[in-house]
Amino acid sequence: MTAKATPARATRARVTPCTHCPLRQLKSYREFTPEELRFVEAFKVGEARFRAGETILAENEPSPYLYTVLDGWAVKHKSLEDGRRQIINYALPGDLLGLQSAMLERMRHAVDALTDVTLCVFPKERLWSLFEKHPGLAFDITWIAAEEKSILADFLVSVGQRSAAERIAFLLLTLFRRAARVGLADESRAVLPLTQEHLADTIGFSLVHTNKSLTLLRRAGVFSWSGFEFTLHDEATLYEMAGHPPGQPVPRPFI
Amino acid sequence: MTAKATPARATRARVTPCTHCPLRQLKSYREFTPEELRFVEAFKVGEARFRAGETILAENEPSPYLYTVLDGWAVKHKSLEDGRRQIINYALPGDLLGLQSAMLERMRHAVDALTDVTLCVFPKERLWSLFEKHPGLAFDITWIAAEEKSILADFLVSVGQRSAAERIAFLLLTLFRRAARVGLADESRAVLPLTQEHLADTIGFSLVHTNKSLTLLRRAGVFSWSGFEFTLHDEATLYEMAGHPPGQPVPRPFI
DNA sequence: CGTTACCTTGAATCTCCTCAATACACGTGG
DNA sequence: CCACGTGTATTGAGGAGATTCAAGGTAACG
């Protein structure tokens, strides 16, 4: 890994208007008021596309934009000088990127595209007027931040306390459910576009050990996962193995 | 460990008025506008005290209150069924507790008092009016959530990638700096009121191994730490060992 | 048809865990 | 005042688990 950083290419042509945003159709999102919808529509200045492997936001850099993922997967990670890296979280459609650079001046981690990605682009200098004029949207953003804190805490518990098999089960089940929540999975199947190296860098084990543990898990027949195709054969057992990860709450907000 | 959950005992007598809040004197906090100060003063309905070891907020419980720490230390943690537990973060004076229960309906982790603690108490049903009427305060809360996400990400990197010595160095240096930021440390000394068991549950190692690694680190003479008294002898070296943890940003907000 | 990315497996080594025992400081009650 | 229990810190020994090094395999792509 991987490709070099590439500047966002804003595509003003063929931009999805927020009024027809496919994510807003999902029952897991609340409805906007007409005023909020108008504000968000004006807040969005375009879309940006990144190819798999490209850097969306670089660590320690400021960014003039806030993004939401419209389509595709991204990965948030931090690297140490010697090449070790830790994946912090994944971003799926509907997730917010760049809040740190908006709030804390610069990114404290990098964000890379995991698949080809389309993002909605919002200029961060208008974030303040969002807080001033649309407390409901401000509340949503805070809600999202609180929820991500909760996800990070769950990852921390997993990495700090659980065995290799438990961590793998936890991660795959969590990602499967997040994919399902935004309509990217049916009953038992989803595309989870990670390599085993991503998996290893998320759960805090070496690639070799991750592979061996994964092989054992697969032999147990609880799920299959190859070529990014994940199929869940026995959710109850995987749920057991994962140490009972919390169900996703019904999310209140959108952006 | 430890004492049973105890209901908050609101002490309306001898409550510190926000106008004289010792934390607001610190240069690391921004100043309130007079209107904000008036709002916060009314938002605060009292203070609560907890003794060391008591539970401030229980996992999976809702809470009608939001708290800020006025004095003392608290610890946020999650426990598994079999007794393993992971410490998520620590709360020092100025830190916010219970945002999860306010935003996500219930706590996803527990909060225990590490020392005797005094908290400012805010009723969460008035949080919405804060967002409506004081976007500056709403922005502050979001800022705090973003910063804690950043801290959790750093912990995750530490637990996922670093050696025992690095994790210990990272945690102690981080806590020393956070204590210093709120006036709880002088040049090189601070009270860090953790046991080695807390340390172990934070860095994700067994108590025994943590003790052995700590002993080695102490023999290196970079710091001393006994009876909760932490003395930093060689900050540059500890900083090296800790893998260059980020300096604390100047925090914008208060509550 | 060679290169690249990803996955898989074995072997040797070292880290970390569990079990077990000891030590010290503290507070309590006899 | 001493005996005792409890919480915390320390150390040793043996074994499970994770890492690194190394080699080989497959599929995709020019």
CB A199 within 8 A of CB A214: yes
Q: How far apart are the first and last CA of chain A?
A: 31
Smallest Cα distance from A226 to chain B, Å: 25
Q: Is the CB of B216 under 7 A from strand D?
A: no
Between A76 and A253, the higher pLDDT residue: A76
Q: What is the mean pLDDT of residues A211-222?
A: 95
Q: What is the pLDDT of residue B13?
A: 55
Q: What is the pLDDT of residue A5?
A: 40
Burial B116-140 (b: 16+ CB within 10 A, else e): ebbbbbbebeebeebbeebbbbbbb
Q: Is the CB of A214 under 7 A from strand C?
A: yes
Q: What is the pLDDT of residue A27?
A: 84
Report, in ranges, which bases of strand C sit under 7 Å from a protein C-beta. 5-11, 15-20
Q: What is the pLDDT of residue B15?
A: 87
Question: Facing residues of A223 across strands?
Answer: A232
**Going by C-beta distance under 8 Å and a sequence separation of 6 or more, which residues neighbour residue B40?**
B18, B32, B137, B254, B255
Q: What is the pLDDT of residue B246?
A: 74
Q: What is the pLDDT of residue A243?
A: 85
Q: Is the CB of B191 under 7 A from strand D?
A: no
List, for chain B, all residue ranges whose pLDDT scores fall below the cut of 70.
1-13, 247-255
> Tens digit of pLDDT for each residue in A145-197?
999 999 999 999 999 999 999 999 999 999 999 999 999 999 999 999 999 99
Helix segments in chain A, DSSP class H: 34-43, 99-104, 127-133, 135-161, 164-181, 196-203, 207-219, 235-241
pTM of the predicted model as reported, rounded to 2 decimal places: 0.93
Pairwise CA distance, residues B74 & B71, whole Å = 10
Please return the burial class of A109, using the count of CB atoms within 10 Å of its CB with bins 0-12, 13-18 and 19+: buried
CA dihedral angle for residue A191, residue A197, residue A198, residue A202, rounded to 10 degrees: 130
Give the closest nucleotide to A52 (alpha carbon vs C1'): C5
Mean pLDDT of chain A: 91
Q: What is the pLDDT of residue B1?
A: 38
Q: What is the mean pLDDT of residues A23-31?
A: 88
